[in-house]
């Protein structure tokens, strides 16, 4: 079994023990530097990262393989990539950029297997008379149409 496959297998076994945590990204470089990015249905804390790191490192022999291992959680500014990450962020404000370059900002109100729904308020001219009225807008976006999504953090 090659090194990359061994790491993937060890990671899969380690994640089976933590069903609320899932893999976002795994990079293994030619110099055997391993970088694992995790996310969770609730949260991923330092202890979770340590446990996954120990499960992998404890099954490898440093005498046999020289490697470096980094296990981290997806940061607050990291793009969302999987439906599971979207579900975790229901109710939060997102910025979604479509593959056509269109940008949408709104509260995530629904997540399905193949799409999300955003909702936001917008001021529009009144249909009759002068002035503006606030209306609620919705946009359904298929995952296949999304280029990038980030959670908007406001202070």
* DSSP symbols for 51-104: HHHHHHHTTS-TTT---EEEEEEPPTTSPP-SHHHHHHTTTSEEEEEETTS-EE
Q: Are 21 and 40 in contact (CB under 8 A)?
A: yes
Q: pLDDT at position 129, please?
A: 86
Hey, what are 63's tokens? 């005498």
Residue of 92, 139, 147 whose CA lies nearest to 116: 139
Q: Which CATH architecture has domain 83-151?
A: Roll (2.30)
Q: pLDDT at position 44, please?
A: 92
Q: Are 76 and 111 in contact (CB under 8 A)?
A: no
Name the pLDDT band for 38 (thresholds 50, 70, 90): very high
Q: pLDDT at position 62, please?
A: 81
Name the pLDDT band for 76 (thresholds 50, 70, 90): confident
Q: pLDDT at position 64, please?
A: 84
CATH of domain 3-73: 3.30.300.20
Q: pLDDT at position 144, please?
A: 96
Domain with CATH 3.30.300.20 in the chain: 3-73
Name the pLDDT band for 101 (thresholds 50, 70, 90): very high
């Amino acid at each position: 079994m090659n090194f990359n496959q061994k790491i993937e297998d060890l990671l899969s076994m380690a994640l089976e023990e933590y069903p609320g945590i899932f893999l976002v990204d795994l990079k293994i470089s030619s110099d055997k530097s391993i970088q694992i990015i995790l996310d969770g249905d609730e949260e991923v804390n330092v202890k979770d990262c340590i446990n996954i790191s120990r499960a992998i490192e404890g099954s490898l022999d440093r005498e046999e393989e020289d490697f470096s291992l980094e296990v981290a959680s997806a940061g607050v500014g990291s793009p969302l990539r999987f439906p599971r990450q979207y579900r975790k962020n229901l109710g939060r404000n997102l910025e979604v950029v479509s593959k056509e370059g269109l940008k949408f900002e709104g509260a995530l109100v629904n997540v399905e297997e193949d799409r999300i729904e955003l909702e936001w308020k917008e001021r529009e001219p009144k249909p009759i008379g002068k002035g503006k009225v606030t209306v609620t807008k919705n946009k359904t976006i298929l995952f296949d149409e999304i280029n990038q999504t980030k959670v908007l953090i406001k202070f």
